[in-house]
Amino acid sequence: MTTVVSIPGTERRGAGSRPGRRVQSIAGLAAVALIAAACGTGTGSPAASATTTSASPSATGASPSAEPSLAAWEPTGPITIVVPFAAGGPTDTVTRLVAEPMSATLGQQIIVTNVAGAGGTLAAGQVAEAQADGYTVLMHHIGMSTAPSLYPDLPYDPLTSFKTIGLVTEVPMTIVGGTEFAPNTLQELVDHLKANAATVNYANAGIGAASHLCGLLIEQAVGADVTEVEYDGTGPAMDDLLGNQVHFMCDQTTNTTTQIKAGSIKAYAITSPERSDALPDVPTTTEAGLPDVQVRVWHGLYVPAETPDDVVATLTQALQGALTDENVIAKFAELGTTPVSADQATSEAHTAKLQEQIDVWKPLLAGAGS
């Protein structure tokens, strides 16, 4: 049984933030960024959107056969993308990077808003219930596929409560430690956990988060039971790792690459079969002795299930355009990832991935739930 403790000031979410226990208004959130439409109006006028939402496949770089040909939806006001974790973490970073070119294509502001809690399930539950008009979109990651195995009372069904827009990116995690934490290599970490598990703190973003999943795999592989410290996201968790208030965690390369390169945290291993070009000196978990710890964190965009198909198609085209944007590609590369290809940034590929991942994680997570 895993222990969960609270560190003052971390705004951790414990049992009280299980789905249904905490209700938060999307409109009332603090961490909100307005991304002005690149069309220059910033007001979302219909005229501006008529110009920019005609995003043809050639204009977006998308494969012409990637999506059914539907009449283009022309949004007439700001679109909100809900991030299910705190600002400053990797899901937030990826969302803000793609939101900017999507905003330009759609000719509307995109508001990125953080609804953190319950390992990402709080935000997913809210978007499932939101108006199905294309103005509320969810960015979520692998947690969409693990939550059904971890939350017996999940208030939504990942496959039927949403329509998928398309995949965004897929990125490995890194196992990282604070500079004052004794182990310097993955093998030393394993030995340390075997000898001192009760005294070791592991940061994660709540049950269902990728960081939680990675921690479970480490615990299973090592046979140790560490103390988990839950945060609203791995953005704030990283702050505490940098300050050595927690000992170690797993996080996407999109949140660790800069800190690893700066020597601000220790990198033990990367959770993929191959090393990352962005972090060539970091060994894989297979090389370093924990081959069963394999996690690749995929992200995708969702809208409520009743959203009309032309709205979904327009959002997919805007996503495909964003994923061919030079700035997005360059920033993703700096953070150790790449956009998915145009054929993966489709509703069909996204739904197939979601189904496949639910099936993969179900047997592995049996009994690990809340």
Q: Which residue in 48, 209, 279, 328 binds ligand ASP (CB under 6 A)?
A: 209
Distance CA 217, CA 292 (A): 7
Q: Identify which range of 6-14, 28-36, 147-155, 232-240 contacts ligand ASP by CB under 6 A.
A: 232-240
Q: Which of 19, 101, 148, 233 binds ligand ASP (CB under 6 A)?
A: 233
Residue nearest to ligand ASP (CB): 89
Say how far apart CA 96 and CA 151 lie, in whole Å: 28
* 3-class state of residue 35 by DSSP: strand
* E strand or H helix at 189: helix 186-196
x/- track of binding to ligand ASP for residues 189-208 (CB under 6 A): ---------------xx---
With CB under 6 A as the contact rule, the residue among 234, 276, 285, 347 that binds ligand ASP is 234
Containing 356, the helix (H) or strand (E) segment is helix 347-365
Least distance between ligand ASP and beta carbon 253 (Å) = 10
Question: How far apart are CB 160 and ligand ASP at their closest, in Å?
Answer: 23
DSSP letters for 81-130: EEESS-TTSHHHHHHHHHHHHHHHHHTS-EEEEE---GGGHHHHHHHHHS
**Residue 85 in the binding site for ligand ASP (CB under 6 A):** yes
Cβ atoms 86, 232 nearer than 8 A: yes
Minimal distance in Å, beta carbon 175 to ligand ASP? Answer: 12
Q: Is 215 in the site for ligand ASP (CB under 6 A)?
A: no
Please, what is the Cα angle at 293 between 288 and 297, to 5 degrees?
120
Q: How far is the CB of 224 from ligand ASP (least distance, A)?
A: 20
Beta bridge partners of 173: 252
Q: Percent helix, strand, coil in the chain (nearest 5)?
A: 40, 20, 40
For the bound state, the minimum distance from the C-beta of residue 72 to ligand ASP, rounded and expressed in Å, comes to 31
Using the minimum distance from each CB to ligand ASP, give the nearer residue, 106 or 167.
Answer: 167
Beta bridge partners of 304: 162
266 residue type, one letter: K
For residue 272, the SS3 value is coil
Contact with ligand ASP (CB under 6 A): which of 105, 211, 257, 347? 211
Nearest to 157 by CA among 126, 119, 120, 125: 125
Rounded Cα distance between 54 and 314, Å, is 9
- CB contact at 8 A, 256 and 89: no
118 interacts with ligand ASP by CB under 6 A: no
**Positions 318 through 357 that interact with ligand ASP (CB under 6 A):** none
In angstroms, give the least distance from the CB of 231 to ligand ASP.
8
Q: What is the DSSP string of 116-179?
A: --GGGHHHHHHHHHS-SSSSEEEEE-THHHHHHHH-TT-SS-TTTSEEEEEEEEEEEEEEEEET
Nearer to ligand ASP, 86 or 290 (CB): 86
DSSP assignment of 53-80: TT--HHHHT--TTSS---PPP---S-EE
Number of residues near ligand ASP (by CB under 6 A): 17
Q: Does 172 bind ligand ASP (CB under 6 A)?
A: no
CB nearer to ligand ASP: pick between 189 and 214:
214
91 binds ligand ASP (CB under 6 A): yes
Q: Which of 148, 235, 300, 304 binds ligand ASP (CB under 6 A)?
A: 235
- 156 contacts ligand ASP (rule: CB under 6 A): no
Smallest distance, ligand ASP to C-beta of residue 323, A = 19
Which 3 state secondary structure label does DSSP give 273?
coil
CB of 212 to ligand ASP, least distance (A): 6
Residues 126 to 155 in contact with ligand ASP, rule: CB under 6 A: 141, 143
CB of 90 to ligand ASP, least distance (A): 4
Cβ at position 208, least distance to ligand ASP in Å:
8
Binding residues for ligand ASP, rule: CB under 6 A, are 85-86, 89-91, 141, 143, 204-205, 209-211, 233-235, 251-252
